[in-house]
Structure 1
Amino acid sequence: MQLTCTEIRAETHDVNTYLFESDQPIDFIPGQFLPLQVEIDGDSHSRCYSLASIPGDNRYALTIKRVSGGLVSNYLADNARVGDNFATLSAGGEFHYQYAQQGKLLMLSAGCGITPVYSMLRARLQADPDADIVFVHSARTPADRIFPRELEQLAQAHPNLRLCWVVSEGAESGQLDGQLDARLLLSLTTDIRERTILMCGPQGYMEAAHGWFDALGVDPERVFHEMFAPVSGDNGPEPASEGAGHTLTVADKAVNIDGSQTVLEALEAGGLPIFAACRAGVCGSCKCKGDGEKLERTSVGPLTPQELEEGYFLACASRVTGDMQVTLP
């Protein structure tokens, strides 16, 4: 599929929304992402970006934050222009509207993690205008809020939608000053145990939120989330030493891998066919199966506990500690 950029909107100083027309309809569920393919200096790079759109919109919107050291996000921020063309693959992602279709919702987001949650919010209100929803977004400053005008309009049109802005620096009238924590969250949603929780944000925010839910007695089965950045390697096992060489066997082909390489890097170097969109342990497109006891993972992305138990892992976010048989999807 081919996308043509028709508009670029500056949401904040480091976040843009890129609006596209497509040469063919794109089938997606609110909350899913598109694997955008970007040519930089003659090389093709794929990254997954959540859609801010819902089905029926006349354009497809991707909201993208400039990331320090981010190759593709920085290239788009500095170079993308109206009229540019980009290739994309089918939409993907397991964090989507299936979790938001019924019941009372608590929707939490921080930073650019608002994008898939915003899409699901729009879809739910379109299907059920009277849905009971609490939407809490955390931002560093008032100017760092994403979609403020659109969300305020939704809240005005739907009295059943309670919109809360939590701003850590320079909060203005109508905004909560400080950072979200369990006590504040409970004050906003006294019935939190009755709500389905959908959230997306950076790693630290997500880890803190799970702590709040534990403290408040929220059933983990009611919590659904997506991280928009990979888990830091500092929080996982130390990678094997660069001198440690092992062998990956895929069907009847063997490739070498050293301690500095991810499984993805080794498979690509060996010419094996594996697709990876985000390359950051988020989207799950490079899911493989192997021996979990020989893996060091820095992210499990969207993998379920059952998949982890069965030996599935993300090739882009895993290294090995021994020779291993790998099954590609």
Structure 2
Amino acid sequence: MKRDGDTFELAGSRLTRPGFWSALPERWTSDAEETLVCCQVRQETHDVKSFFFTSPQGRAFVFEPGQFITLELEIDGETVNRCYTISSAPTRPHTISITVKRVPGGKVSNWLHDNLQAGVTVRVLGPAGEFTCARHPARKYLFLSAGSGITPLMSMSRTHHELNEDRDIVFVHSARTPDDIIFARELDLIATNQGNFRTSFVCERVGARTNWAGITGFLTLPLLKLIVPDFMEREIFTCGPAPYMKAVRDLLDEAGFDRGHYHEESFSFETLAESAAQVLQDAAHDAAPTATGDGAQTATRFAVSFAKSRRDIECGSDQHVLDAARQAGVRLPASCTQGMCGTCKVKLVSGQVEMKHNGGIRQREIDQGMVLLCCSKPLSDLVIDK
């Protein structure tokens, strides 16, 4: 074999080394490059697919395992934003992946399964999020997941595996049937390669696999004690549907587990919508004028004008603009209500706000006067281009 820089000759053929082998790539950010290209779609189970993306400019993805990205999609003429946790590991920086379960009636999941294929471009925000073992180093971990909630914990597991960190990890995953276990073969491979990595699968029912020899039923405290006798000593990360995570919290509370070592994540927009309704009720109560000892009110009221819809409302200085708008009957697009997804992003024509977001807006957009109404409190009268 003859080598000449990045070009070499092998068996009579002249080949060129891929660019990412010859130089350290620039770091990808959604500010510098808004669009990614889908490079592969992988069928994981009958209703779950993984979508892999690359940077058109060859940039590398830098993130913490467990973080998420936000897709900005055009579906039926409407811009829809959805957060998806990253299932790939940062140790493979040239691609990034999400793993999506098809939800009956789900607008975004069905669109992704039916339309997103290799070569299609999508707008992406992020990465962002605080649900990561990288920020909570521990000697022993317990990963608890259900359904597609496996994705951030898979990213963490892949990362430890590829860094050859044989950390003491027990991964307990709950699924409807054995055939619904996502990443089953890869988790078995990791367990084979790492002596301190153990898996346990809990399936509601056997399904079509009548030879299933694993656990059937639901995760309970006695079962958890059987699978992980020392779970009280572990840092616990949990992700899955809201009922599953509530059940996990309840059984851990029953056991007296220290919640300071418990972390959870969920991007169920139905759940977030319910949470938003409760937040709205709380905000209505909290926004009621309160008086100090001398009778002065503590909250300042500001005028908020929506230029296009010609609606005028008032918003307290201690209240998010989205909450005030909803209380006044102004309909505005919103999904997560936590500054993550970017759905409520608007142009601020005039005025100032205090905004504390969680990755749902780019710095370039902030510089251009865009704000997220769900996490912005007024500092003056506002005019909004909506």
The residue number in structure 2 matching 1:148 is 184
The residue number in structure 1 matching 2:81 is 46
Q: 1:237 to 1:285 in 2, by over 3 A?
A: closer
Unmatched runs of 5 consecutive residues or more in structure 1: 241-245, 289-301, 303-313, 319-323
Residue of 34, 44, 59 corresponding to 1:11: 44
- Larger Cα-atom Rg: 2
Question: What is the CA-CA distance between 1:281 and the residue it aligns to?
Answer: 4.8
TM-score (norm 1): 0.75
Question: What is the CA-CA distance between 1:25 and the residue it aligns to?
Answer: 2.6
Question: Contact 1:141 / 1:167 at 8 angstroms: preserved in 2?
Answer: yes
The residue number in structure 2 matching 1:137 is 173
The residue number in structure 1 matching 2:267 is 228
Superposed CA offset, 1:54-106 (max 9, x none): 11323211101122332211111111221100111220111013245331000
Amino acid at match of 1:8: V
The CA distance in 2 between the partners of 1:99 and 1:2, in whole Å, is 28
Q: 1:265 to 1:168 in 2, by over 3 A?
A: farther
Q: 1:225 to 1:194 in 2, by over 3 A?
A: same
The CA distance in 2 between the partners of 1:287 and 1:37, in whole Å, is 9
The CA distance in 2 between the partners of 1:250 and 1:151, in whole Å, is 55
Question: Contact 1:229 / 1:282 at 8 angstroms: preserved in 2?
Answer: no
Question: Contact 1:202 / 1:229 at 8 angstroms: preserved in 2?
Answer: yes
The CA distance in 1 between the partners of 2:91 and 2:373, in whole Å, is 35
Aligned-residue identity in percent? 37
The residue number in structure 1 matching 2:248 is 209
Question: Contact 1:67 / 1:74 at 8 angstroms: preserved in 2?
Answer: yes
Residues 242-281 of structure 1 mapped to structure 2, 5 A cutoff: 253-254=304-305, 256=312, 263=322, 266=325, 279-281=335-337
Q: 1:137 to 1:159 in 2, by over 3 A?
A: same
Q: 1:104 to 1:36 in 2, by over 3 A?
A: same
Superposed CA offset, 1:13-54 (max 9, x none): 221100111133332111011111112233322111111111
Superposed CA offset, 1:266-303 (max 9, x none): 48x999xx996xx2357745699xxxxxxxxxxxxx9x
Q: SS in structure 2 opposite 1:89?
A: strand
TM-score (norm 2): 0.64
Root-mean-square deviation (CA, aligned residues, Å) is 3.8
Amino acid at match of 2:130: E
Aligned length: 285
Q: 1:175 to 1:37 in 2, by over 3 A?
A: same
Moved more, 110-119 or 185-194: 185-194
The CA distance in 2 between the partners of 1:143 and 1:265, in whole Å, is 46
Residues 175-186 of structure 1 mapped to structure 2, 5 A cutoff: 175-186=214-225
Residue of 99, 105, 125 corresponding to 2:141: 105
Q: 1:251 to 1:232 in 2, by over 3 A?
A: closer
The CA distance in 1 between the partners of 2:70 and 2:48, in whole Å, is 18
Q: 1:264 to 1:90 in 2, by over 3 A?
A: farther
Residue of 186, 189, 193 corresponding to 1:157: 193
The CA distance in 1 between the partners of 2:155 and 2:212, in whole Å, is 26
Amino acid at match of 2:304: K
The CA distance in 2 between the partners of 1:52 and 1:12, in whole Å, is 15
The residue number in structure 1 matching 2:318 is none
Question: Contact 1:195 / 1:222 at 8 angstroms: preserved in 2?
Answer: yes
Q: 1:132 to 1:325 in 2, by over 3 A?
A: closer
